[in-house]
């Protein structure tokens, strides 16, 4: 069955326009509410090279108008290669750094906080840049709200499902860190809304914008090319030719064109910088000589880890996906292209990242690489509300509570403190499959409830705590945090009011 739009064809045009405006207004209010909450709970810290690198690149773009990162050389945090001219470059493309540029500028403004010594200005720059993840994760939540509405959900149900996605999945945890997963989730969900949120084949402008976003995601992480291919498959289902179709597969052609051009540009970038289109700037080895960037890990190792290990299980760290899986058959009957995305994205990314040598994604909490695709696996939950089975309310509440507790545990303290001390890795940087970050975090929470941390960067992992510890005036930290709290209260109230009267 083809997709069924919310708006009936017999609905007057003025009424349709009013409903679209109301939906968009509510989505914006929801975005502002969630963004404020995420900003309050953000760690503001960058710990691993995957987080430090976009700060270095965006800082270079902002101050030197260059993607080179000479400031990393000699610091012990450089992961990359020198280009054909001997200039140090990052191992990662510049896409994520481009996206976080406005927040890096905010970070430089924070660096001028009264009381903060110049020696600690880099902490403020990192905190401001890290706030970008809160915004991208909030965009993902707002896009999911619009998709829920498109699937026929009432505004209140769409809001509840969006909040489940926002606070009971790892999207919450990663909103407080500077990994690229929140930005990737935002791009994928916004693209899904642009392509499939109209109920029929999208207009040229919507298809082109979605294609541009998906093409750009390749320059954040080249492996996102695989997700773009999955989107191609979904558009193929959307654009099946009929007697009324003037240009069959138009959306598919547009997306394929943009993605192909993006890949060509990326290969040309490699050729210009490193003299070889397939030289991505990744060092041949790292961490005691181990190759972390190859793709020859036994697939069963990654699949086992992502499904049932205590440290990376998708079911443990994102409980709502169980309900999402149950809703897939109904979604397939309602909207096949979106159902295809919700199934294919998690499965394809599971298999892809399972064969990556460093499949666990370095030091992180839960199944990091799967976060964007797990968000899609939560979308079918809204279909369960059509029949409203008796078991749905207790199951929904249980997954919400368990998921929220797990995310709060992950955000509470510096996860690396326990990981480093309790052998997250064994041997030559081999992930310890029995490691449990949840129990590790609980130990740290218990510890810091009794003993305040004497060291900067340990203890309760909040931006206002460590910036104050670094020298910023406490009163200013309270003022900034209070603005976020007030924003959350105001926009949360307005969001509830908007859905109540819809």
Output helix, strand, coil percentages for the chain, rounded to the nearest 5.
65, 5, 30
Q: Residue 101: which of 67, 59, 164, 130 has the closest Cα?
A: 59
User: 4 in a domain, yes or no?
Assistant: no
pLDDT at 18: 61
Mean pLDDT in runs of 10 for the chain (502 residues)?
Answer: 40 54 91 98 91 94 93 84 92 95 95 87 93 98 96 94 98 97 98 87 92 97 96 86 61 95 96 92 70 84 96 97 96 94 97 94 94 96 90 95 97 89 84 94 91 77 88 92 97 94 64
Q: What is the pLDDT of residue 457?
A: 74
Is position 17 within any domain? Answer: yes
DSSP 3-state assignment of 423? coil
Phi and psi for 460 in degrees, rounded to 5? Answer: -70, 120
Q: Is residue 7 part of a domain?
A: no
- Give pLDDT tens digits for 121-174: 899 999 999 999 999 999 999 999 999 999 999 999 999 999 999 999 999 999
Q: What is the pLDDT of residue 290?
A: 66
* In-domain check, residue 6: no
Tokens read off for 315: 């079911």
Assigned domain for 488 exists: yes
Range of the domain at 201: 13-500
**Buried-exposed string 413-444: b where 16+ CB fall within 10 A, e elsewhere:** bbbbbbbeeeebbeeebebbeebebbebbeeb
Query: Residue 225 falls within a domain, yes or no?
Result: yes
- Whole-number pLDDT of residue 261: 98
**So what's the pLDDT on residue 88?**
94
Q: Cα(485)–Cα(479) distance, rounded to whole angstroms?
A: 10
DSSP code at position 286: B
Q: Which of 199, 96, 103, 183 is nearest to 140 (CA)?
A: 183
HSE value, Cβ hemisphere, 13 Å, CA-based, for 311: 25
Task: Give domain status of residue 3, yes or no.
Answer: no
Residue 8 counted as domain residue: no
φ and ψ of 90, to 5 deg: -80, 155
Global confidence as pTM:
0.93
Pairing of strands 88-90, 80-82: antiparallel
Beta bridge partners of 82: 88
- Number of domains present in the structure of the chain: 1
The encoded tokens of residue 182 equal 């929140």
């Amino acid at each position: 069955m083809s997709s069924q739009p919310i708006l009936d064809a017999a609905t007057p045009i003025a009424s349709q326009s009013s409903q679209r405006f109301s939906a968009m207004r509510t989505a914006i209010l929801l975005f502002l509410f969630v963004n404020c909450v995420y900003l309050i709970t953000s760690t503001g810290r960058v710990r691993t090279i995957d987080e430090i690198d976009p700060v270095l690149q965006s800082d270079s773009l902002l101050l030197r108008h260059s993607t080179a990162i000479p400031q990393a050389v000699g610091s012990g945090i450089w992961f990359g290669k020198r280009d054909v001219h001997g200039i140090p470059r990052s191992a990662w493309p510049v896409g994520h750094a481009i996206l976080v540029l406005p927040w890096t500028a905010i970070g430089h403004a924070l660096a001028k906080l009264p009381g903060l010594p110049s020696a600690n200005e880099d902490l403020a720059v990192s905190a401001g840049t890290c706030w970008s993840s809160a915004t991208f994760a909030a965009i993902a939540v707002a896009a999911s709200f619009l998709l829920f509405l498109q699937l026929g959900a009432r505004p209140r149900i769409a809001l509840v499902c969006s909040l489940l996605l926002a606070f009971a999945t790892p999207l919450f945890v990663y909103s407080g860190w500077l990994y690229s997963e929140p930005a990737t989730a935002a791009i994928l969900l916004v693209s899904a809304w642009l392509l499939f949120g109209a109920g029929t084949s999208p207009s040229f402008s919507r298809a082109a914008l979605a294609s541009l976003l998906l093409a750009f995601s390749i320059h954040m992480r080249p492996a996102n090319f695989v997700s773009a291919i999955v989107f191609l498959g979904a558009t193929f289902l959307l654009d099946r030719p009929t007697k009324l179709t003037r240009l069959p597969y138009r959306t598919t052609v547009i997306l394929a064109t943009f993605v192909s051009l993006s890949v060509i540009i990326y290969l040309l970038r490699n050729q210009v910088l490193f003299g070889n289109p397939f030289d991505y700037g990744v060092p041949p080895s790292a961490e005691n000589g181990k190759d972390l960037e190859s793709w020859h890990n036994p697939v069963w190792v990654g699949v086992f880890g992502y499904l049932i290990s205590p440290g990376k299980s998708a079911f443990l760290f994102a409980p709502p996906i169980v309900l999402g899986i149950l809703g897939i058959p109904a979604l397939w009957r309602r909207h096949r292209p979106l159902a295809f995305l919700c199934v294919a994205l998690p499965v394809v990314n599971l298999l892809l990242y399972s064969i990556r040598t460093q499949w666990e994604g370095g030091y992180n909490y839960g199944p990091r690489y799967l976060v964007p695709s797990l968000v899609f696996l939560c979308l079918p939950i809204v279909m369960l509300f059509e029949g409203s089975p008796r078991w749905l309310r207790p199951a929904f509440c249980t997954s919400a509570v368990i998921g929220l507790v797990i995310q709060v545990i992950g955000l509470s303290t510096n996860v690396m403190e326990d990981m480093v001390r309790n052998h997250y890795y064994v041997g030559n940087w081999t992930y310890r499959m029995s490691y449990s970050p949840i129990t590790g975090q609980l130990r740290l929470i218990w510890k810091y409830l009794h003993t305040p941390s004497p060291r900067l960067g340990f203890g309760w992992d909040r931006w206002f705590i460590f910036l104050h510890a670094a020298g910023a005036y406490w009163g200013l930290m309270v003022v900034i945090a209070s603005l976020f709290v007030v924003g959350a209260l105001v926009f949360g109230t307005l969001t509830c009011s908007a859905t109540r009267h819809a």
